[in-house]
A and B are shown apart, each in its own frame.
Chain A
Amino acid sequence: MSDPIAPTTNPAAADKVSINLYTRNPAHAIPQSTYLIPADWRRFQLSELINKVLHTTSGDSAESAAPTPFDFIIDGELLRTTLDNWVKSRKNGDFESVINVEYIQSLLPPKQLESFPQDDWVSAVSIQRPGYILMSSYLSHAKVIPMTQAGASATEDASITMNLPSSLGATCCSWLSPSTQNENILLGAGGVDRQAHIFRIPSLLDMAAATTTTTITPPQEIMTLHLHTGPISSITPSRNYEHVLTSSWDGLLGIFSLPTPSNPLEESHDLPAEPKSYLPGQNSKKKRKLAGAGAGGGDAQVGGWRKQPDMVMRGHTARIGGAIWDKEDRNKVWSAAWDGSVRGWEADLGFNSVLKQGPSDKAALCIDQMTGSGTLATGHMDRTVCLWDTREATSLISLTLQTASPVPSLRAHPTSPYTLATGTYSGTLQIWDVRSPKQALFSVKRQQKEGKGERVLGIDWNGEVLVAGGEDGEVSVWSARGE
């Protein structure tokens, strides 16, 4: 093993460090051994070493394949300096003991690709459908922006805007149709007005074409989901897109049916309209006249069909920060709330099966599930990201990632069980690797504009592209790979 090292050894380096190199990725595994490494090596030399070892073990010539860059994690911390420095600063110069070094495939730092300025705060973004960005705004609308639009057709706004009936603002949005479905695409947005609104877009391709033909079938609100008595905090489709899960400030979770080809929309109100009479001024003649006119035009024009939930899940004692469907169990729903608890629910029974009560002052703002391990990641008001092990019913927080400010939004990598992206109130976007919990892999700060806040309110990440929207009214697109 020492043969490949010998030529690169700097004779001037007096100190040597013995390290154990290991990885969790079997594709990059090298034989287990303790290596004696010159102390002045950096990440680059270590990466070269591993590449050489990989090539020699696989029998390829070193020239045949491009080298894979690696990052090295020691004690949960990325190696950013020489081994020498690391040992001196962290181990008080203890060169004797063997250091365990984990290596992971290196990632490029996020790079901003595009930016879509908006008129008001962006509350949430979603890129679950490739090529399009769905965003909700406190201007009380949801918007679909084609990602290819940037620059080329700046003059022509190809985005589709769906207005919510009230002007209080939209807080969340989500695609509610599978990305393979190209017609009658459903998407949902929740608002401060305590209702979730389901819109239907006839065809996105049409709209892309419509930029030239200008014959757009306007998107239509087909359903209004009535359950909550507080603003909606999240709206999430189930994995088969048959149901939608909403959570709200009032501590309720609701599951509503979505119209599918097999189960078409019932065009009827499930429940009567909310009483408006209590609002002052409703009995004025002018309003009454307007309302009457609206009512005559048909209910669907003003709002969707009022639907009530298939299932209501009660249990949280405070505002629910977010709710998701389990990535493996179809019937499982996870929610995290401001009371510091993370709860698991049986969606078909509405039964609270798991209760993980963390510290009550640990208000959870958002939740997502890591792929593979099933670990839940929650972003908290107290500037932490917590990982909750779901495999053991009794365990609580298994890992805590310290951030600089509250984490209102996070997204786990769709395939990797280790990485996740967070957006924080301080305006930074961070890529985390749970193997390096002390330090984020990358932390980039969004450019702050004059007179506008820096808070990031919503992000989405599909492993390649990271989209973030926030207080500055801008949807920024970053290229950020995770592994």
Chain B
Amino acid sequence: MPPKRTPTASRAAGGSKRNANANSKANPPPAAAAAAAAPVSRKPAAVKRSREDDRDAPAHSTEENLLAGKINGGGGKGKGKASARVAEEDEEEDQDDAEEFEIDTGSSNGDLDDFLDREALESPADDEDEEDDDDDDEEGYNTSDIEAMENASGDDEQDDDDVDDTSSIASSSIAPSTVPDSNLTLDQLIAKHTYKPDENMDIYVSQATGGRPLVGDATTGKFSNSKEGTGRLVPSKFVKGALMREYDEIEAGYGSESSTEENTNTIGNVPIEWYDDLPHIGYDVSGRKIMRPAKGDELDKFLATVEDPDSWQVSLPPGVCSPDIAYKLLQKQVQLSDKELDIIRRLQNAENPDADFDPYQETIEWFTGKGNEMTMPLSAAPEPKRRFVPSKWEHKKVMKIVKAIREGRIVPNKPVVEKPRVYGIWSNDDMENPPHAMYMPAPQIPPPRTVESYNPPEEYLYDEGEKREWEQQEKEDRKLDFMPQKHDALRHVPGYENFVQERFERCLDLYLAPRTRKVKLNIDPESLVPKLPSPKELRPFPTACAVQYRHPANSRVRCVSVDARGEWVASGSEDGIVRVWDLGNGREVWRWNLKGGPVQAVEWSPNKEECILSAAVAGRIYLLAPLALISPHVAQTTLTHLNTAFSSSSASTTNIASGKPVVPDAKWVRPSEDERDRGMMIIIEVQGTPKQVTWHRKGDYFATVAVDATNKSVLIHQLSKHQTQSPFKRTKGAVQRVAFHPHKPHFFVATQRYVRIYDLVGQQLLKTLMTGLKWISSMDIHPLGDNLIVGSYDKKLCWFDLDLSTKPYKTLR
């Protein structure tokens, strides 16, 4: 007997086989109650045999009982069979069955059968044992058996359901108490297995009525004790003559379904509002009316909440938790216990609702782990011969190859012979074009359009007028070089008569039209923008004072300017004196006392050929020239430039009072001879106090800004003609600064917030730069004229790129 055989497996296999047999032989009527009577099929003969197998009986007893019940339920089908004769017949039949199966399986699984046979020979058991073995063997390996089991499973399940109530209860609660009672033997099992449902009931009934109680009698070799207990045997109502055991009402535990519902409303899933007008709210199981529970008014509710500390647990809103249905159907308040609340909480947290459930309980190793190792191989069959004998077939194959080699049909390691390459003798057309640096593929023909379709939509087709027009047009003038045609099917499309012509023209195009490779520059535009140097690279900063130009202690310097050659420094101070200094060592070399209040601005002319210094005091602009300091040539040029207009003007140049070309905006005055001796060449009398003087690059024009002169705040003076003009009739806002563009006739005017660029020739506004500053204080233009920087009193610096937008390119703080 193979020692390793799980009882469940044997039971299932045996059971299923029995079922299959039963199904094949008979179709017994289902009877749930008959299950209870099943254990009566006991044979006294089996008792003796059972003692031999006593050793494994205790461990398997419950299982076997269960098994027995099941088999009886399935196989017995309510037919009580108890006679030994029947059992013997059964045994025979069983053997037949086994033989049948042997025949079945023999074809499919020879090895196994051999193995089993050998095993059977080895075991010294008697026939019944052997049969039993066969039984067991068959279930594990016979596929047809499994199929049969599966076929029978449908019936089986029904039967299982029938017996479930009793068997499960028996196994869980009653069986353990009767475990020691194990006079259950294998013979009994076999006997039970082999009873036939279509055995006549009479025997059974006669035995039952013979006053010999079959069930519950220990001496009869009880098959199962699961049905023992407090149940009373009563004749069955449904089966004639059968006995039925009645049980007491079982107190349902918490786990039972009915534990929570005491008095179920059975109205089903209908709105409870339908019962609003009625005194009852539904019916219980037995059809009695459930009366509406007494309901307190709002005041009661409130009082309840005040008095009852547990009131918050009452009447959870419907839909929140499970008491919802009972609440609605029973129309009463449900008090949730702590335990229930705990369950609710667990459900909300997606935990196991059972508080006692231990998700981390220790694994019970039934079949693995220490002590449970499988010491035996799955199969004790010896290695088949073919595993260690060389294959004859392979030998044949190899010998075939050897023979071929000997005969020379196969030459091992034969060098691969290259086939001769085929090439054209007369041309290189078949050779691949080597990839050339200047290789240019022909331009692709544009993809066909809808109008070129053989079946274009109607709107593409030409009407009569269009057709005429198309025909009248010259070939070169036609929009389309064909007339759209509509064909029902592709096979109706005629040959295209211009095909050759078009191919030829295309070839001509490709041949004649020069093609050039278009090199696309892939340059990141950002990389073209010059990077701003980091402030550290702008060294050397003027970090130390090199030269001081020391003024008298009581005067403040208002303005400074360095001349175009970088030799002299002019400064204007509040005591009204313009001084000229040696740039290199700070020696004062010349001075003019303008006697007009603080000097507001000094500015040298940017023309290197001349040496003109403009200085602004209140109401006057002086043009000065330190003639003694400059070379005769420069002095001559300067004087010529300054005095030409005096000599050409009709007014006397010597008369100061009248020696002025009368211009509306300013008066050009020639100073006295002594003053001219000192280098004070021209005085221009203007309105207001000019705060800024700025020169045009060429040194002929200069502009002044006098903020307090209202609409004449900006004046442009021309030296060579001694003319002054006010370019703006009215200025928007107070002009802070003006500047000339280095080479274009543009004029920059900075008001408090904006910088406007005017075209002096076209007399129009070109651009308005939005500085975003609060109050512009200064402005300068790059000598190349592309960039403008604007400073403000709020410590910001705007940098405009004039080629770009009107917004600052960068704002520095």
A interface list, Cβ under 8 A from B: 121, 138, 166, 168-169, 192-194, 229-231, 249-250, 274-275, 278-281, 284, 318-319, 338, 361, 365, 381-383, 405-406, 408, 425, 453, 455, 457, 471
Find the B residue at minimum CB distance from A281: B677
Once A230-B631, A382-B540 are accepted as A-B contacts, the answer to whether A138 and B547 lie under 8 Å apart by CB is no
A192-B635 in contact (CB<8A): no
For the complex formed, measure the closest distance between the CB of A114 and the CB atoms of chain B, giving whole angstroms. Answer: 24
Q: Choose among B544, B548, B677 the residue that contacts A279 (Cβ–Cβ < 8 A).
A: B677
Q: How far is the CA of A281 from the CA of B635 in the complex (A)?
A: 14
Which residues of A are found within 8 Å of B392, using beta-carbon distances? none
A230-B567 in contact (CB<8A): yes
| Those 7 A-B pairs whose CB atoms lie nearest each other, nearest first | A229-B631, A280-B676, A281-B677, A280-B677, A406-B546, A278-B635, A278-B636
A361-B631 in contact (CB<8A): no
**Stretch from B99-107, B131-139, B206-214, B581-589 that touches the partner:** B581-589
B240-261 residues with Cβ-Cβ distance < 8 A to A are: none
B540-A169 in contact (CB<8A): no
Q: Choose among A168, A194, A365 the residue that contacts B589 (Cβ–Cβ < 8 A).
A: A168
B635-A455 in contact (CB<8A): no
B629-A405 in contact (CB<8A): no
Q: Choose among B544, B589, B634 the residue that contacts A169 (Cβ–Cβ < 8 A).
A: B589
Q: How far is the CA of A375 from the CA of B704 in the complex (A)?
A: 52
B566-A318 in contact (CB<8A): yes
B585-A408 in contact (CB<8A): yes
Find the B residue at minimum CB distance from A276: B632
A281-B584 in contact (CB<8A): no
Find the B residue at minimum CB distance from A167: B628
For the complex formed, measure the closest distance between the CB of A470 and the CB atoms of chain B, giving whole angstroms. Answer: 10
Q: Choose among A250, A279, A382, A457 the residue that contacts B635 (Cβ–Cβ < 8 A).
A: A279
Known: A192-B589, A338-B584, A453-B550. 17 other contacts (CB 8 A): A138-B587, A230-B567, A249-B567, A278-B636, A279-B627, A279-B628, A279-B677, A319-B567, A381-B584, A382-B540, A383-B544, A408-B584, A425-B547, A425-B585, A453-B548, A455-B586, A471-B586
Q: How far is the CA of A383 from the CA of B545 in the complex (A)?
A: 10
For the complex formed, measure the closest distance between the CB of A157 and the CB atoms of chain B, giving whole angstroms. Answer: 25
Which residues of A are found within 8 Å of B627, using beta-carbon distances? 278-280
Q: How far is the CA of A457 from the CA of B585 in the complex (A)?
A: 8
Find the A residue at minimum CB distance from B671: A280
B interface list, Cβ under 8 A from A: 540, 544, 546-548, 550, 566-567, 582, 584-587, 589, 627-636, 639, 673-674, 676-677, 679
Which residues of A are found within 8 Å of B633, using beta-carbon distances? 229
Which residues of B are found within 8 Å of A169, using beta-carbon distances? 587, 589
B673-A281 in contact (CB<8A): yes
Which of B546, B630, B674 has the largest count of A CB atoms less than 10 A from its CB? B546
Find the B residue at minimum CB distance from A138: B587
A278-B550 in contact (CB<8A): no
A166-B628 in contact (CB<8A): yes
Find the B residue at minimum CB distance from A404: B544
Q: How far is the CA of A281 from the CA of B680 in the complex (A)?
A: 12
Q: How far is the CA of A275 from the CA of B639 in the complex (A)?
A: 13
Which residues of B are found within 8 Å of A405, using beta-carbon distances? 544, 546
Q: How far is the CA of A281 from the CA of B673 in the complex (A)?
A: 6
Once A280-B627, A381-B546 are accepted as A-B contacts, the answer to whether A275 and B632 lie under 8 Å apart by CB is yes
B587-A365 in contact (CB<8A): no
Find the A residue at minimum CB distance from B675: A280
Find the A residue at minimum CB distance from B548: A453
Q: Choose among A229, A250, A284 the residue that contacts B673 (Cβ–Cβ < 8 A).
A: A284
Once A275-B632, A281-B676 are accepted as A-B contacts, the answer to whether A425 and B589 lie under 8 Å apart by CB is no
Which residues of B are found within 8 Å of A457, using beta-carbon distances? 585
Find the B residue at minimum CB distance from A233: B584
Which residues of B are found within 8 Å of A381, using beta-carbon distances? 546-547, 584
Which residues of B are found within 8 Å of A274, using beta-carbon distances? 632
Find the A residue at minimum CB distance from B677: A281
Q: How far is the CA of A229 from the CA of B630 in the complex (A)?
A: 7
Q: Could you list some 29 contacts between A and B, CB below 8 A?
A: A121-B587, A138-B587, A169-B589, A193-B628, A229-B630, A229-B633, A230-B567, A231-B582, A250-B631, A278-B627, A278-B636, A278-B639, A279-B627, A279-B628, A279-B635, A279-B677, A280-B673, A280-B679, A281-B673, A281-B677, A338-B584, A361-B540, A365-B584, A381-B546, A425-B546, A425-B547, A425-B585, A453-B586, A457-B585
Once A383-B546, A425-B546 are accepted as A-B contacts, the answer to whether A168 and B566 lie under 8 Å apart by CB is no
Q: How far is the CA of A32 from the CA of B100 in the complex (A)?
A: 122
Which of A281, A284, A383 has the largest count of B CB atoms less than 10 A from its CB? A281
Q: How far is the CA of A274 from the CA of B628 in the complex (A)?
A: 12
Which residues of B are found within 8 Å of A168, using beta-carbon distances? 589, 628-629
For the complex formed, measure the closest distance between the CB of B588 and the CB atoms of chain A, giving whole angstroms. Answer: 9
Q: How far is the CA of A194 from the CA of B582 in the complex (A)?
A: 14
For the complex formed, measure the closest distance between the CB of A111 and the CB atoms of chain B, giving whole angstroms. Answer: 27
Q: How far is the CA of A406 from the CA of B547 in the complex (A)?
A: 8
Which residues of A are found within 8 Å of B677, using beta-carbon distances? 279-281
For the complex formed, measure the closest distance between the CB of B644 and the CB atoms of chain A, giving whole angstroms. Answer: 14
Q: How far is the CA of A284 from the CA of B550 in the complex (A)?
A: 35
For the complex formed, measure the closest distance between the CB of A153 and the CB atoms of chain B, giving whole angstroms. Answer: 31
Find the B residue at minimum CB distance from A318: B566
Which residues of B are found within 8 Å of A318, using beta-carbon distances? 566
Find the A residue at minimum CB distance from B635: A278
For the complex formed, measure the closest distance between the CB of A303 and the CB atoms of chain B, giving whole angstroms. Answer: 15
Which residues of A are found within 8 Å of B550, using beta-carbon distances? 453
Q: How far is the CA of A364 from the CA of B424 in the complex (A)?
A: 82
Which of B547, B566, B585 has the largest count of A CB atoms less than 10 A from its CB? B585
For the complex formed, measure the closest distance between the CB of A281 and the CB atoms of chain B, giving whole angstroms. Answer: 4
Q: How far is the CA of A318 from the CA of B633 in the complex (A)?
A: 18
Q: How far is the CA of A471 from the CA of B628 in the complex (A)?
A: 23
Q: How far is the CA of A231 from the CA of B568 in the complex (A)?
A: 11
Q: How far is the CA of A275 from the CA of B589 in the complex (A)?
A: 22
Find the A residue at minimum CB distance from B674: A281
Which residues of A are found within 8 Å of B585, using beta-carbon distances? 408, 425, 455, 457
Q: How far is the CA of A229 from the CA of B750 in the complex (A)?
A: 39
Which residues of A are found within 8 Å of B567, using beta-carbon distances? 230, 249, 319
Find the B residue at minimum CB distance from A380: B546
